[in-house]
Structure 1
Amino acid sequence: MQDIHSSNALNNFRKAVQAGDFLITAEVAPPKGANIKHTIEMAATLKGRVHAVNITDGSRAVLGMSSLAVSVILLQNGIEPICQVTCRDRNRIGIQADLMGAYALGIRNILALTGDPVKAGDHPDAKAVFDLESVRLLQLINKMNHGIDFNNKILEDGRLDLFPGAAVDPQCKSWSGLQSRFEKKIEAGAQFFQSQLITDFEILEKFMDKIASSYNKPILAGIFLLKSAKNARFINKVVPGVNIPEHIIDRLEKSKYPLQEGMKIAAEQIKIARELCQGVHIMAVKKEEAIAAILDLAGVGK
């Protein structure tokens, strides 16, 4: 496979989107502490296998190293990042400052997120900000790309050129709410969408046919590595809107090697998604080293 991260390009992900390629991204968690060695090692296993690596920004409101800092370190190691930016912890001044800093440091891909509620995380008494939410964050990025700040004042030292994306949940119970929110994100400037983890591919197909097909923006289906039946039941319990089917849980429970079975399931889901949308976003929490093998099983990324 030709390495998709050529040294002379800062944004191969954007080029792949614009070329209509089948897109592969994966998620890597930042460290909790000063030692970033493991994060770099996990991201390195994906170099040349995925178009970009997502770095989470306080996912589940749990403390971790700055997504901006980790994204810069990955870039220094020849790995193209998608820097997640949430609205939970910073006001519009802080977010704009971070976006300018990210651009100056070579980051181009931004995933604009509202952010998980503080009460869900490991600092439940922290003060949430939520000065903006994801649609307004996308609007802000669009403004800064056009050389103005949130208050429509000129960015005297030059415009940005960020490539913004957004999240989408095709399994949202409110179809009208899903459509409205998706269209608002398109209007606000989202150039790609990464979905929450998909468990019902018939619903994904319906979303693609009824909503997404009207817009020429890539949807990357969220593929989640289930490590065991216990893990699957936990996900069903704590992740809103997710319903991992019993037949999947049964497969994991009956398998002598549940992690390997989970990898097979993820690979099967990638194959299904490839027939429905333009890409996949792979999440393997604390098992990022398994992602390359999942791609091999699915026959993609080569």
Structure 2
Amino acid sequence: MVNSSLPSSHSVSRLQAAAQAGEFLITAEVMPPKGGDPAHMLDMGTQLRDWVHAVNVTDSSRAVLRMSSLAASVLLQQNGIEPVFQLACRDRNRIGLQADLMGAQALGLRNVLALTGDPVVAGDHKDAKPVFDLESVRLLRLINKLNRGLDFNDNPLPDCPTSLFPGAAIDPQSPSWSGLQKRFERKLEAGAQFFQSQLICDFDRLEKFMDQIAAGCNKPVLAGIFLLKSAKNAQFINKNVPGVQISQQVIDRLAAAENPLEEGVAIAAEQVTMARQLCQGVHLMAVKREDLIPQILQKAGFSTLQSQTVPASAQRVIQTQQ
């Protein structure tokens, strides 16, 4: 018996509808549990529900074991929280990737972020066997095929095509400008419908990316905003996250603050405001403190989604892209 509570096979997600309407997009990130109890994840998702268009569910980020992103996404959706199902190529071959994508479709998931995946050696199971049968660009092409009713080998899907809304990750702070441009164009050509960036700390670089690479692509770009909890946290990121260099000015500001976490919230809000002038959305990352994301958005001048309008700055970006 078909579950009538599931979205129809051709339904459009809230994120997709907002992107197509030219709204300023807001997404946030949650980690699935490391175990079988999703209560904390669901609590964080519930606190975000009225503030974001969708919640990204990481797929064993940094190759650290977590609950299946597919299962966690379904749990969030069952609780009224729209997910972005992250799917990494690290742990699955093309059969497994297609199986999960068709399963996501059947379970009512629509938003998918196609990722290559972090290397196994970075995680907590260093002896695991990495797969990497595909990488993110080929995964995007695969999703595009499934949406057209074909499998990887161009055989027709007899039981209906998918209607997935695929996105891709970008890193405007990549040291290779030509490599960044080539990668972005390949993902665009492969069918990416939205882009979420890695942590942004150089907003001049983001502006250059928007002006010289993303201009005219007519796909929303969401700037990655990370909640820094302390000077030590910022220094750890500088040491361990390639391509990220948080300025000494920000580190000194956190170190001098009476309440570093509160100062981190203020810094994140300022960065949201800067991103609002440059691109069509933000992707917020507040590891283990997702409950502070509404506060960040409030400080940046946002209210809940029901009462938001498209800011003039976002309108200018949209008109330029169109």
TM-score by length of 2: 0.91
- Match for residue 132 of structure 2? 130
Number of residue-to-residue matches in the alignment: 296
Q: For residues 65 and 256 of structure 1, what CA distance do their matches in structure 2 show?
A: 37
Root mean square deviation of aligned Cα: 1.1
Match of 1:77 among 72, 76, 79: 79
Letter in 2 for 1:16: A
Deviations 1:26-61 (A, max 9, x none): 000100001100000000001111000000001000
Judging changes above 3 Å, is the alpha-carbon distance between structure 1 residues 94 and 222 closer, same or farther for their aligned structure 2 residues? Answer: same
Give the match's secondary structure for 1:282.
strand
Q: For residues 243 and 72 of structure 2, what CA distance do their matches in structure 1 show?
A: 30
Match of 2:273 among 271, 274, 277: 271
- Match for residue 156 of structure 2? 154
- Match for residue 221 of structure 2? 219
| Offset at residue 10 of structure 1 (A) | 5.5
Alignment of 1:157-176 (within 5 A): 157-176=159-178
| Offset at residue 300 of structure 1 (A) | 1.7
Judging changes above 3 Å, is the alpha-carbon distance between structure 1 residues 188 and 63 closer, same or farther for their aligned structure 2 residues? Answer: same
- Match for residue 299 of structure 2? 297
Q: For residues 191 and 301 of structure 1, what CA distance do their matches in structure 2 show?
A: 26
Q: 1:10 touches 1:106 (CA, 8 Å); kept in 2?
A: no
- Match for residue 107 of structure 1? 109
| Offset at residue 182 of structure 1 (A) | 0.1
| Offset at residue 255 of structure 1 (A) | 0.3
Q: For residues 63 and 202 of structure 1, what CA distance do their matches in structure 2 show?
A: 35
Identity, % of aligned positions: 67
Give the match's secondary structure for 1:193.
strand
Q: For residues 85 and 300 of structure 1, what CA distance do their matches in structure 2 show?
A: 30
Unaligned 5+ runs, structure 2: 1-6, 305-322
| Offset at residue 253 of structure 1 (A) | 0.2
Q: For residues 160 and 274 of structure 2, what CA distance do their matches in structure 1 show?
A: 43
- Match for residue 3 of structure 2? none
| Offset at residue 78 of structure 1 (A) | 0.5
Q: For residues 223 and 135 of structure 1, what CA distance do their matches in structure 2 show?
A: 24
Letter in 2 for 1:104: A
| Offset at residue 81 of structure 1 (A) | 0.3
Give the match's secondary structure for 1:211.
helix
Match of 1:27 among 26, 29, 38: 29
Match of 1:116 among 115, 118, 130: 118
Deviations 1:135-162 (A, max 9, x none): 0000000000000000000111110000
Give the match's secondary structure for 1:161.
coil
Letter in 2 for 1:197: L
Give the match's secondary structure for 2:32.
coil
- Match for residue 139 of structure 1? 141
Match of 1:257 among 247, 256, 259: 259
Letter in 2 for 1:216: N
Q: For residues 12 and 108 of structure 2, what CA distance do their matches in structure 1 show?
A: 7
Q: For residues 12 and 155 of structure 2, what CA distance do their matches in structure 1 show?
A: 28
Give runs of ≥4 in structure 1 deviating > 6 Å.
none
TM-score by length of 1: 0.97
Unaligned 5+ runs, structure 1: 1-6
